[in-house]
Chain A
């Protein structure tokens, strides 16, 4: 079964740090760009960050310089290191697989809650 499972969410003080993980299974992880999308309570979806198969990284402006995305293809996992957290970062964080041919996110994790 194709699946993404997030972990690492929790309660953190303002200014603190947290590291989210997303473990993939059921597909060739190294062949896909992977992304993080967040959703504040009662709010819409906001793209946060993405990492390409070559390790190229992308960030939304509000997190650039504070968040770092990385991947470990040997572990079928990718990560989001979040530093300098503030109230605006409180959200459910979803990891998602991007299908290049469709240019869309076809597989999503169940989400992990981050509360600052």
Chain B
């Protein structure tokens, strides 16, 4: 199985900050990388697919980049509603696997 490792596990930031979360795959996954946001008690929400494509309805302050084994999710101009846990997920092969999550908290 492909292992997905996110860093950091948690971070604190101010509203308006630029935040970057990284995700590393244990082998090359091309651009088969998705990002999800999850708020407490809620289902995950798809933000980015194919490493860099913005899902419909997602604000443009979210962006993704990377290919191969190293990927990043960037949130520019962090908003109060962005505080949540973010997960990366590889869709390169079965079983699809998720990173352990990055919790973004208010500083």
Contacts and interface: CB of A to CB of B under 8 A. Distances in A.
B99 A44 contact: yes
B91 A45 contact: no
Contact of B87 (A44, A50, A61, A103): A44
Contacts, number: 58
Interface of A is mostly: strand
B98 A45 contact: yes
Interface residues of B, number: 24
A9 to B, nearest CB: 14
Nearest to A94: B43
B44 A45 contact: yes
A104 interface: yes
Given A45-B87, A47-B96, A47-B97, A105 B32 contact: no
Interface of B: 1, 32, 34, 36, 38, 43-46, 49-50, 53, 55, 87, 89, 91, 94-101
Given A102-B55, A103-B50, A110-B43, 4 more contacts: A94-B43, A94-B44, A103-B49, A104-B89
